Amino acid sequence: MRFHSLLFWSICLLGSANALAWGADGHRLIAELAEAQLAPAAKAEVEHLLGQEPGATMVSVSTWADEVRRPAGAPMHYVNLPLDDCNYVRSRDCEDGRCVIEAIRRQVDVLKSGAPDVERLVALKYVVHFIGDVHQPLHVGLASDKGGNQFQVRAFGRGTNLHGVWDRELIAHRPGGQSQLLRDAGALGPAGDSRSSDPVKWAGASCVISRSSGFYPEDRRIDGAYIARWDSALVTQLALAGRRLAQTLNDALMPKR
């Protein structure tokens, strides 16, 4: 019984690791894309805030929100919407304010405020991370399968779940590696409503992707055809996350007049 209990909790812990959006590589890529698009004033303020932790960069802090995550704060990394409705309704979808949309809004407000630098640094770390999260399609997913975490699939020679595929596997196994993915995302021109500054719209677009026909493979296999079909969505979402993160920081850190 002791062995089975330990095995059960080990599986639970491994399952919880699958809930991290984009994985470390995706978040770092988004931060690198955004850093290259910062306006001079915003870049200077980002460097000022990061200077409180010698050696810190946007890339290095992009995974901080996952590293310090506690169960009570986990809902701030995602929002669940109904199967047939990608329109966010706060009273229905985030009544207590603990979802990624409201988390982004709160942290951006702190970043814009006259709060002490130590608080604004924490807000910066959250903003960098949460804007990445909301662009992962399964972080605007269904409560019924925990954003794809309970949808088991076969991918790259092993069993996993659809959330894990989008978090890590599609990035880790992409031809050309992360350097090519960074180039492809960086070269992507404006796509969709790329100038949108509203996390509600960002979440809605992610929801549309995760509800699209074929996103959940009927045969539960992530094969070459699935990868080829959804590669453009992967690249686009990463590119948009980087562009919108840069835009958000440019707006939030604009010098006060």
Please spell the DSSP secondary structure of the chain, one letter per residue.
-HHHHHHHHHHHHHHHHTTSSSHHHHHHHHHHHHHTT--HHHHHHHHHHHTTSTT--HHHHTTHHHHT--GGGGGGG-----TT-----HHHH-TTS-SHHHHHHHHHHHHHS---HHHHHHHHHHHHHHHHHHTSGGGS--GGGTTTTT-EEEETTEEEEHHHIIIIIHHHTSTTHHHHHHHHHHH----SSTT---HHHHHHHHHHHHTSTTSS-TT-EE-HHHHHHHHHHHHHHHHHHHHHHHHHHHHHTPPP-
Q: Is residue 100 part of a domain?
A: yes
Q: Is residue 217 part of a domain?
A: yes
Q: Is residue 185 part of a domain?
A: yes
Query: Quick one: average pLDDT of 171-199?
Result: 86
pLDDT at 254: 86
pLDDT at 192: 53
Q: By residue range, what is the domain housing residue 199?
A: 21-73+80-252
pLDDT at 12: 39
Q: Is residue 13 part of a domain?
A: no
What is the count of structural domains for the chain?
A: 1
- From residue 214, give the alpha-carbon distance in Å to each of 147, 209, 230, 242: 16, 10, 9, 26
Query: Residues 103-146: pLDDT tens digits?
Result: 999 999 999 999 999 999 999 999 999 999 999 999 999 999 99
pLDDT at 11: 39
Q: What is the CATH number of the domain that holds 159?
A: 1.10.575.10
Q: Is residue 6 part of a domain?
A: no
Confidence of residue 17 (pLDDT cuts 50, 70, 90): very low
- From residue 165, give the alpha-carbon distance in Å to each of 2, 162, 202, 253: 32, 5, 21, 35
pLDDT at 257: 58
pLDDT at 72: 85
Query: Quick one: average pLDDT of 163-176?
Result: 96
Is residue 198's pLDDT more than 80? yes
pLDDT at 195: 62
- Is-contact 215 209, C-beta < 8 A? yes
Among residues of the chain, what percentage have pLDDT more than 90?
A: 84
Is residue 2's pLDDT more than 50? no
pTM more than 0.75: yes
Q: Is residue 56 part of a domain?
A: yes
Strand order in the sheet with 158-161: 158-161, 152-155, 221-222
Query: Quick one: average pLDDT of 64-86?
Result: 94
Q: Is residue 8 part of a domain?
A: no
Is residue 41's pLDDT more than 50? yes
Query: Residues 199-255: pLDDT tens digits?
Result: 999 999 999 999 999 999 999 999 999 999 999 999 999 999 999 999 999 999 988
Q: Is residue 9 part of a domain?
A: no
**Least confident piece of the model among 21-25, 124-128, 192-196:** 192-196
